[in-house]
Amino acid sequence: MNRDPIVEQELWRSVAVYFVSFLIVGALNAMGYISVEGIATFILAFIITSIHFALMVRYRRKEQLTDPSISSIIDHVFQPKKPERRNSIHIESGYNFRSILTLLIVAYLIYHYAV
pLDDT tens, residue by residue, 62-96: 878 777 777 777 777 777 766 555 445 545 455 56
Of 67, 85, 102, which residue is a domain's last?
A: 67
Does one domain contain both 60 and 4? yes
CA distance 100 to 106: 10
Does one domain contain both 115 and 105? yes
Domains of the chain: total: 2
Does one domain contain both 50 and 7? yes
Does one domain contain both 45 and 92? no
pLDDT tens, residue by residue, 6-29: 888 889 999 999 999 999 999 998
Does one domain contain both 63 and 99? no
Mean pLDDT within 49-62: 87
Neighbours of 56 (CB within 10 A): 20
Does one domain contain both 54 and 81? no
Does one domain contain both 25 and 52? yes
**Structure pTM?**
0.62
Q: What number of residues does the chain have?
A: 115
DSSP 8-state assignment for residue 109: H
The whole domain housing 38 covers 1-67
The amino acid occupying position 87 is N
Does one domain contain both 48 and 86? no
